[in-house]
């Protein structure tokens, strides 16, 4: 497995609270991505990063922010969690922009009550 | 507006038989297609890909066929094995694989022993 660690693996939180999910990689890959997986929607891109302090929005970025201060860490923050953000969140990394070399972490199951 | 469609949510086949997983797309700019496989509690893993300049790509038991005129691709697994039971995501991108991926909803394949 590619060296990708997501933390926490599971989290339950209340509506309105801030939540930060962490993705840590040991591969020194330049590109990092956050996806969410929901029944009936597949995988949808939230935010991505092409390098330190270089981030951009994906297709479902509302309510989320990201930061990348180091190559190895990509943080996803839910500023004020809502029930619609209950989902499984996956971090992915790639060495270059060739998409077949996209490696995913094991995911974080987030429940917002 | 769903650009990558996997209209069948599930498929069940007998071990040893062929599994055919279908995927349709609507965006004419897509020129690179991938299949990812996902087991429960794990992240998706890359399975096989095909460029729009080809109509077939084969890797062991897995073959992907692309019909550009119909905007349709299919993944064939022959022979199917119980270990193939997983969720399969079809994904597409443009710019010869260098733009961000758009995923379908996924198909749950069950291979019966």
Q: Tell me the C-alpha distance between A99 and A46, whole Å.
A: 16
| A29 within domain boundaries | yes
| A111 within domain boundaries | no
Average pLDDT on B50-54 reads: 93
Q: What is the pLDDT of residues A27-58, one digit of tens each?
A: 999 999 999 999 888 899 999 999 999 999 99
| A65 within domain boundaries | yes
Q: Tell me the C-alpha distance between B18 and B13, whole Å.
A: 7
Structural domains in chain B, CATH included, are 4-112 (2.60.40.10)
Which of A2, A43, A90, A91 would best serve as a mutation to test chain B binding (most B beta carbons within 10 A)? A43
Average pLDDT on B50-65 reads: 96
Which of A42, A60, A106 would best serve as a mutation to test chain B binding (most B beta carbons within 10 A)? A42
Q: Which CATH number covers residue A10?
A: 2.60.40.10
- Interface contact B105-A41, CB threshold 8 A: yes
Decide the pairing of beta strands A4-7 and A64-70: unpaired
* Burial class (CB within 10 angstroms; exposed 0-12, middle 13-18, buried 19+) of A45: buried
**Residue of A42, A45, A102 with shortest CB distance to B106:** A42
Percentage with pLDDT > 90 across chain A: 86
Question: Which positions ≥6 away from A54 have C-beta within 8 Å?
Answer: A68
Q: Tell me the C-alpha distance between A65 and A49, whole Å.
A: 12
DSSP letter for each residue of A22-38: EEEESS--SEEEEEEEE
In this model, does residue A100 exceed pLDDT 80?
no
- Interface contact B43-A105, CB threshold 8 A: yes
Closest CA to B3 of B105, B96, B86: B105
- pLDDT at position A91: 97
- pLDDT at position A111: 97
Cα-Cα-Cα-Cα dihedral sign, residues B1, B30, B9, A5: negative
- pLDDT at position A97: 73
- Interface contact A98-B43, CB threshold 8 A: no
- pLDDT at position A1: 55
- Interface contact A107-B43, CB threshold 8 A: yes
Half-sphere exposure of residue A55: CA atoms within 13 angstroms, side-chain side: 23
Q: Tell me the C-alpha distance between A98 and B96, whole Å.
A: 9
| A107 within domain boundaries | no
Contacts of A105 in chain B (CB under 8 A): 43
Please check whether residue B1 touches A, CB under 8 A. no
Shortest Cα–Cα distance, A22 to chain B (Å)? 15
- pLDDT at position B94: 85
Range of the domain at A55: 4-97
Decide the pairing of beta strands A42-51 and A54-57: antiparallel
Which ranges in A1-112 belong to alpha helices (H)?
Answer: none
| A71 within domain boundaries | yes
**Residue of A41, A99, A106 with shortest CB distance to B101:** A99
| A103 within domain boundaries | no
| A108 within domain boundaries | no
| A72 within domain boundaries | yes
Q: What is the pLDDT of residues B15-38, one digit of tens each?
A: 999 999 999 999 999 999 999 999
Count of the separate structural domains present in chain A: 1
């Amino acid at each position: 497995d590619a060296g990708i660690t997501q933390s926490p693996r599971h989290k339950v939180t209340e509506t309105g609270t801030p939540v930060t999910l962490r993705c840590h990689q040991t591969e020194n890959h330049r590109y990092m991505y956050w996806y969410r997986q929901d029944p009936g929607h597949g995988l949808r891109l939230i935010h991505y990063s092409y390098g330190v302090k270089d981030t951009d929005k994906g297709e479902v970025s509302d309510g989320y922010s990201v930061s990348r201060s180091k190559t190895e860490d990509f943080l996803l923050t839910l500023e004020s969690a809502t029930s619609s953000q209950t989902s499984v969140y996956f971090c992915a990394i790639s060495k270059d922009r060739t998409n077949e070399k996209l490696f995913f972490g094991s995911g974080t199951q987030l429940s917002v009550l | 507006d769903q650009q990558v469609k996997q209209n069948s949510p599930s498929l069940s086949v007998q071990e040893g038989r062929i599994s055919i997983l279908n995927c349709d797309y609507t965006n004419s700019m897509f020129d690179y297609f991938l299949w990812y496989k996902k087991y429960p509690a794990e992240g998706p893993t890359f399975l096989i890909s095909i460029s729009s300049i080809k109509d077939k790509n084969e890797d062991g038991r897995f073959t992907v066929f692309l019909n550009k005129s119909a905007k349709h691709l299919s993944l064939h697994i022959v022979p199917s094995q119980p270990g193939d039971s997983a969720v399969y995501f079809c994904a597409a991108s443009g710019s010869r694989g260098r733009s961000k991926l758009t995923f379908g909803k996924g198909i749950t394949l069950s291979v019966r022993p």
